[in-house]
Amino acid sequence: ETKKETLGFQTEVKQLLHLMIHSLYSNKEIFLRELVSNASDAVDKLRFAALDKSELLSNDPDLKIRIEFDKEAKTIAVEDNGIGMTRQDMIDHLGTIANSGTAQFLESLTGDQKKDAHLIGQFGVGFYSAFIVADRVSVVSRHAGTEEATCWESAGEGDFTVEPAEKAGRGTKITLHLKSDCEEFADGFRLRNIIRKYSDHISLPIEMVKEATPTGDEEEEKKADDVVEYETVNTATALWTRPRNEITDDEYKEFYKHISHDFDEPQTWSHNKVEGKAEYTSLLYIPKRAPFDLWNRDVQRGLKLYVQRVFIMDDAEQFLPLYLRFVKGTVDSNDLPLNVSREILQNNPKIDSMRSALTKRVLDMLAKMAKKEPEQYAEFWKTFGQVLKEGPAEDYNNKEKIAKLLRFATTHTDNDEQNQSLEDYIGRMSEGQDKIYYVLGENYQTAKNSPHLEIFRKKGIEALVLYDRIDEWLIQQLMEFDGKKFVDVSKGDLDLGKLDSEEDKKAIEEASKEKADLIEKIKEVLKDKVEEVKLSHRLTDSPACLVLSEYDLGIQMRKVMEAAGQ
């Protein structure tokens, strides 16, 4: 028989709680959104578990969240009949293991109280936000399908306790003992407003005790006081099932925060209902900020999958390609079986066609943003451009679409900002130019100072300045854009095609004859080191430069191969 146990919070959690308790929080009310969001997640998990084990649901089938308050006792309680937590779950999730939001938040801390207090507002931190308004929090929970309940309690300082408790049904009840300066929250009107503001999109009913409407009849009012009646205070329909024109931007934004666990607003979104051969509804969001694990390919990612409004799984990664891994959202299918598993999702023609439709949606959404909101798109590019550059290799079919979304630094703008599209470049091409020239370098400075660019500068021909690690790989995948080949300025005989004037060509020929002796001598000296010595018009200021032959690997690819031990 386990008794009461006192355990310490993990160091990071302690740091976080300290900060939360001691720094001013301008937006205290968000604690309720966090607790409701967790309750809703818990109910989703229960619904899913009940697909296999219907008895989990049958004894208490009306899934809901209840919020109660007591003005005298200065408490608020949030209760759900979801999946619940075991003793070990509580120890793990409410004390020792920091969730991803917490880790990311702690990473961005500056040490400056004021700045950090502001940061916390951007991140939010889930369950622990209860301590913004409470100086004591108790959680009583019973995991579905078990008999034992556990009570977790803490004052949000160094430690917490867990001990056996009594609880009639499955689920979790969180009670907040409000701080003296937060008593205002123990109020029906205030709570209803907060729920409508942040949690209206939650698809299950959030109930509160019905406020007695005075009838004038004292007897009747007394009776009404004895029977507690509840009423639903939110809309309680899954947001994506509602018609687009009835959903406000604020509702879309709150829904995004709920599903993404991001505390910033999304950059943009696209909500679509598809009917016909396949029937599904998708709601896809482009975030503003990159998650800290964007570059970790092993991290779970993907859309939240529902089948006929029943939550099936988070992170269904089969619905979008890897290079769109920054997209968040939900997809609700009407024709997948309720018992779909990750295995079924793989190699399923139905999923494949949904995936290609959803991919197009995202690319179209980005194209629209690029056209209509170039400033927003520039921000997007700074955050996710590097990921999008993986696209042409992964998704050959959409190569052209992706190419239009790419942005580069060029000799035209003459700075390192990647803000020029290939269409911009083509629009500026000189008459007779039929290629897209680019220079590669390890960083912007090296690339832009390449001697190979001298002749381009002299002739006023623009070149893309590529300096990201992935760029050479990207160009190799693209090969051409709008029928124009990409040409590395450092490779092969620089054929400027019609851009070379007849005089230039003649001048080179003559000079080559004249300097034949000199060229021979240089060849003698460098004989093992170079393949060929040529007189060229590439350079205008530097006397000589090394040139790779057309079929050689580029400088960056060589480095990549070297690093791989080749």
| Binding positions for ligand ADP, rule: CB under 6 A | 34, 38-39, 41-42, 80, 82-85, 93-94, 99, 101, 126-127, 172, 261
Long-range CB contact pairs, 479-485, < 8 A, 24+? 480/436, 481/400, 481/403, 481/422, 481/426, 481/436, 482/422, 482/423, 482/426, 484/426, 484/434, 484/435, 484/436, 485/434, 485/435, 485/436
CA distance linking residue 206 with residue 235, whole number of Å: 9
Of 94 and 286, CB closest to ligand ADP: 94
CA distance linking residue 233 with residue 206, whole number of Å: 6
Q: Please report, as a single letter, which amino acid is at residue 512.
A: S
- Tell me how far, at minimum, the Cβ of 490 lies from ligand ADP, in Å: 49
Q: Please report, as a single letter, which amino acid is at residue 513.
A: K
What secondary structure does DSSP assign to 70-92, as a single string?
Answer: ETTTTEEEEEE-SS---HHHHHI
Cβ–Cβ < 8 Å for 499, 433: yes
- Interacting partner of 42 out of Mg ion, ligand ADP, none (Cβ under 5 to 8 A depending on kind): ligand ADP
- Tell me how far, at minimum, the Cβ of 89 lies from Mg ion, in Å: 14
Q: Which residue is nearest to ligand ADP (CB)?
A: 126
- Tell me how far, at minimum, the Cβ of 392 lies from ligand ADP, in Å: 34
Of 102 and 398, CB closest to Mg ion: 102
- Tell me how far, at minimum, the Cβ of 161 lies from ligand ADP, in Å: 17
328-333 vs 303-307, strand pairing mode: parallel
Of 257 and 261, CB closest to ligand ADP: 261
- Interacting partner of 17 out of Mg ion, ligand ADP, none (Cβ under 5 to 8 A depending on kind): none
- Interacting partner of 412 out of Mg ion, ligand ADP, none (Cβ under 5 to 8 A depending on kind): none
- Interacting partner of 472 out of ligand ADP, Mg ion, none (Cβ under 5 to 8 A depending on kind): none
409-410 vs 464-466, strand pairing mode: antiparallel
Per DSSP, the three-state class of 548 is: strand
CA distance linking residue 53 with residue 48, whole number of Å: 9
CA distance linking residue 160 with residue 162, whole number of Å: 7
Of 33 and 301, CB closest to Mg ion: 33
- Interacting partner of 242 out of Mg ion, ligand ADP, none (Cβ under 5 to 8 A depending on kind): none
First to last CA, the chain: 62
Of 49 and 357, CB closest to ligand ADP: 49
- Interacting partner of 75 out of ligand ADP, Mg ion, none (Cβ under 5 to 8 A depending on kind): none
- Interacting partner of 441 out of Mg ion, ligand ADP, none (Cβ under 5 to 8 A depending on kind): none
- Interacting partner of 478 out of ligand ADP, Mg ion, none (Cβ under 5 to 8 A depending on kind): none
- Tell me how far, at minimum, the Cβ of 252 lies from ligand ADP, in Å: 20
Of 39 and 284, CB closest to ligand ADP: 39
Cβ–Cβ < 8 Å for 67, 186: no
- Tell me how far, at minimum, the Cβ of 209 lies from ligand ADP, in Å: 20
Of 37 and 398, CB closest to Mg ion: 37
Per DSSP, the three-state class of 436 is: strand
- Tell me how far, at minimum, the Cβ of 34 lies from ligand ADP, in Å: 6
Of 126 and 385, CB closest to Mg ion: 126
- Tell me how far, at minimum, the Cβ of 401 lies from ligand ADP, in Å: 34
Query: How many contiguous H segments (helices) and E segments (strands) does the chain have?
Result: 22, 19
